[in-house]
Amino acid sequence: MNVADSERAATNLHNAGYAISDSTQSADVIIFNTCSVRARAAEKVFARIRDVRRFRNGRKPIIGVMGCVAQLEGENLLEDSTSIDFAIGTGALERIPSIVKEVLEGQGKALDLGERVESEASGVSASFRHSPYVAFVPIIEGCNKFCTYCIVPYSRGREKSRVAAEIVEEVSRLRGEGFREIHLIGQNVNSYRPRTDSGLESIEGATQFSKLLRVVAATGIERIKFTTSFPRDLHPDIVSAIDENENLCNWVHLPMQSGSNRVLRAMRRGYKVEDYIKRVEAIKSAKRRIALTSDIIVGFPGETVKEFDETINLVKYCRYDSLYIFKYSERPGTPAASLEDNISEQEKTARFLELEKVQKGIQRSVLEEYVGGEVRVLVEGKSAKTPLDMRGHSTCHKVVNFPGDISLAGQEVIVRITEAKVNSLYGGLVKGL
C-alpha cells in the first residue's frame, strides 16, 4: 500500500513538471511517506528526517511528510518541527504538486488533510512502478472494521472501492505495457463493494470480490495476486475462482491475529477460531496447493499464557508458508489504548521469539515439501547474493533463486526446486514459458 502511494506521488509530481531524484543529497524537496500502524514505524520518520538534515551539507531542503503519520499528526508536525515544511494526508496525493508549489513559492508551511476528490483520481506511470514486470493495483482504500488495536480506519478513512470497469481497464493497460503480474491491493481486498456494478453485471460469483477476480482473470494477464484478505469475508467462492482460473495465483494472505476466542473478541475481529479454521480448510481443499500466510499480534492487553498457547496451537494447525509476527503496540486514540497494556516488553519479546521458533520449524518442513517439485517463477532480476543467480517469485509467492542470466528478466520460467532455504527456495531452470 505504501509503495503504491509513493509510486502515485512520484507520478503526480513528474506530470506536474518536477524531476524525481534518487539522491537526498541534491534534491530540493524531500518527501517522507509514513506508516503509523506501530509506534516504531511512526518514530522512524523523525530519525530519518534528522539523518537527512545531518548528512546534507549546504542548502536546507524543503521537507514534506505524507501518509498515515501526516494524516494523524499533520498540524502537530508543522507546529512542533522546524524541519517540516508541509504535511499531506492519505487522501491528498493528487494535490501534492500544488502543495509543493505553494511552499517553493515561499507561501510558508502547508497542510492538506482533505479527502480524495474522485475526479482527481490519477494513475501511476510505468516508469515509477517499483518493477517493470509487477504492478500494484489498488481496488479498495481505507477500512471500516475498527479492530480495537488498529489505527488504519483513522489514518486511511472509510472503505471506498473502485469500480470494476476502471480496474479492468488499468489491468489491460498494464498488460499492454508489458507487466506480467499484478497485485490487487487494499487493507481488505475481499471486502470489495463498489457502489455500482459497472463492469461486473454479467459476471458469475457469490461476492463482488469473487466476480472481480473472474473479470480481472479474463483480461488474460499472466499472474494475479491479491492482498490482504479479511477472514470474515473470505467466501469459499474466492477459492472456486482460483480453481477455475490458472492466472489467479495460489497464495492467500489471511491474518489470524490470535488463536484465542477471548482475545479475538477483545480485538473486535468479527470471527471466532472455528470460523477461521473453516476458511483455512476451504483454502487447503483447493485443486492447486494454495500457499497460506498470516499476521499475528502477540501480547495484546490481557493475553494470558494459556491464550498465547492457543495461538501457538492454531499456528501449528494452519502450517503457514510464512508468518509476520508483531508485538502489540498501543496506538493512541484506539479503543485498545484504554486497556492497560499489562504485558511487559520483555514478555512480549519472549512470546515473539517462542512463536517465531515454532514458525521456523513449520516453515522448514513446508518449504522442504517443494523440493523435487516444479514452480512457475516470474524472473525479476539478479539475485542479491551472487550475479550468477537470478531471482523471482513463484505463483505461490516464494522467493526463488536459480542459476541463470539477465536475459531471462521479465520472463516466466519453470524452476525445479533442489533446496529449501530458511525463507526462500533454490533450484534449476527447466524451461521458459
230 belongs to the binding site for ligand SF4 (CB under 6 A): yes
Q: Tell the smallest beta-carbon distance from residue 408 to ligand SAH (Å).
A: 33
**Count, residues near ligand SAH per rule CB under 6 A:** 17
Binding-site member from 3, 29, 37, 399 for ligand SAH (CB under 6 A): 37
Least Cβ distance, residue 335 to ligand SAH (angstroms): 11
Q: Which does 146 bind (CB under 5 to 8 A by kind): ligand SF4, ligand SAH, none?
A: ligand SF4
The residue among 328 and 402 lying less far from ligand SAH, judged by its C-beta, is: 328
Q: Does 297 bind ligand SAH (CB under 6 A)?
A: yes
Cis peptide before 228 (omega within 30 of 0): yes
Options 142-150, 160-168, 298-306, 320-328: segment touching ligand SF4 (CB under 6 A): 142-150
**Options 44-52, 150-158, 389-397, 420-428: segment touching ligand SF4 (CB under 6 A):** 150-158
331 binds ligand SAH (CB under 6 A): yes
Stretch binding ligand SF4 (CB under 6 A), from 113-121, 148-156, 219-227, 376-384: 148-156
Q: Which range in 27-35, 89-97, 146-154, 271-279 contacts ligand SF4 by CB under 6 A?
A: 146-154
Q: With respect to ligand SF4, which residue has the nearer C-beta, 300 or 402?
A: 300
Instruction: Give dist(CA 144, CA 269) in Å, integer.
Output: 11
Report what 295 binds from ligand SAH, ligand SF4, none; CB cut-off 5-8 Å by kind.
ligand SAH
Contact call for residue 230 and ligand SAH (CB under 6 A)? yes
Q: Given the complex with ligand SF4, which of 40 and 50 has the nearer CB atom?
A: 40
User: Which of ligand SF4, ligand SAH, none is residue 326 near (CB under 5 to 8 Å by kind)?
Assistant: ligand SAH
Options 145-153, 301-309, 405-413, 421-429: segment touching ligand SF4 (CB under 6 A): 145-153
Does 147 contact ligand SF4 by CB under 6 A?
Answer: yes
Report the nearest approach of ligand SAH to the CB of residue 325 (Å).
8
Contacts to ligand SF4 by CB under 6 A:
143, 145-147, 150, 152-153, 187-188, 230
